[in-house]
């Protein structure tokens, strides 16, 4: 159990993993993310179809459960990381300021808020939840290269990202989806506010939230190289991609709805 949490001491007396990381795209990595993706999709289909014709209150209970689960796992991880690093301030480096970890706040907001704020948060979870789930599991090559596959870091991260993906699919399948044009500005505002918070946090604690300072081995390396690592253009380009993705998601959905209406 201590090995799972990285709480065994090495020869220098520091908490760490005594096992070597299997690495990205190892069979262990592929097996773990495959199981997570299958469970994510299967459970979303099951609960989504089961609740499709139920009241909004009944549908919302699943989101409430997601909110408690995703934050429960994250809190445990933060506590363990503070112990492992022997730094009670380590939580400054695990704030929910990555695009995928914003779901730690967006899912509870979607579950407990009312009116247009709730609808905008539902849209945000729907739009970015599945994206974060895929990139945070299948594409999390840096994590699988740094930590053993069966460790808290990869297991808990995989679970929380999968919960985000589950919530995204559940919202669509159960009929909680709104994607109303009048709520688009609120959804964009949520994205921009968190992006600004992430950038400021990066400057204060010298970190890389939302990968706004450096690509860190992610696909953002394409943008980083294109702009030569420019400290102004690069973060603006990253946020710009988020906004473009959001716009395209809305446009495609609205076009499909219009087409269905004609039929």
Q: Look at residue 42 in the predicted model and tell me its pLDDT.
A: 98
b/e map 5-26, b = 16+ CB within 10 Å? bbeeeeeeeebebeeebbebee
User: d(Cα 164, Cα 87) in Å, to the nearest integer?
Assistant: 28
Helix axes 27-51, 152-174, angle to 10 degrees: 30
pTM for the whole structure: 0.90
Per-residue model confidence as pLDDT tens digits over 58-86: 999 999 999 999 999 999 999 999 999 99
Q: Look at residue 256 in the predicted model and tell me its pLDDT.
A: 77
Q: Look at residue 146 in the predicted model and tell me its pLDDT.
A: 87
Per-residue model confidence as pLDDT tens digits over 111-126: 999 999 999 999 999 9
Q: Look at residue 181 in the predicted model and tell me its pLDDT.
A: 82
Q: Look at residue 84 in the predicted model and tell me its pLDDT.
A: 93
Per-residue model confidence as pLDDT tens digits over 186-210: 999 999 999 999 999 999 999 999 9
Rg (CA), the chain: 19
Positions in the chain whose pLDDT score sits under 50 = 262-263
Q: How many CB atoms lie within 10 A of CB 231?
A: 10
Q: Look at residue 262 in the predicted model and tell me its pLDDT.
A: 46
The upper half-sphere exposure of residue 194, i.e. CA atoms within 13 Å in the direction of its Cβ, equals 24
Q: Look at residue 229 in the predicted model and tell me its pLDDT.
A: 92
User: d(Cα 255, Cα 178) in Å, to the nearest integer?
Assistant: 14
């Amino acid at each position: 159990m201590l090995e799972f949490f990285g709480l065994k001491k090495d020869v220098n007396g520091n908490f760490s993993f005594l096992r070597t990381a299997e690495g990205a795209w190892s069979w262990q990595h592929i097996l773990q993310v495959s199981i997570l993706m299958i469970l994510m999709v299967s459970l979303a289909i099951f609960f989504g179809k089961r609740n499709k014709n139920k009241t909004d209150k009944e549908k919302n209970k699943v989101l409430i459960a997601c909110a408690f689960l995703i934050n429960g796992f994250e809190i445990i991880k933060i506590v363990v990381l503070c112990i492992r690093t022997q730094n009670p301030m380590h939580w400054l480096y695990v704030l929910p300021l990555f695009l995928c970890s914003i779901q730690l706040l967006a899912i509870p907001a979607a579950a407990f808020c009312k009116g247009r704020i709730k609808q905008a948060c539902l849209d945000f979870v729907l739009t970015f939840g599945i994206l974060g789930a895929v990139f945070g599991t299948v594409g999390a090559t840096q994590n699988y290269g740094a930590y053993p596959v069966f460790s808290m870091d990869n297991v808990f991260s995989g679970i929380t990202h999968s919960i985000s993906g589950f919530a995204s699919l559940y919202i669509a399948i159960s009929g909680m989806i709104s994607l109303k044009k009048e709520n688009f500005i609120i959804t964009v505002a949520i994205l921009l506010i968190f992006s600004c918070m992430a950038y400021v946090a990066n400057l204060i604690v010298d970190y890389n939230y939302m990968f706004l300072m450096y690509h860190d081995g992610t696909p953002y390396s394409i943008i980083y190289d294109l702009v030569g690592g420019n400290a102004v253009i690069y973060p603006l380009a990253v946020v710009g991609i988020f906004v473009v993705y959001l716009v395209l998601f809305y446009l495609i959905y609205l076009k499909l709805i219009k087409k269905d209406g004609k039929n």
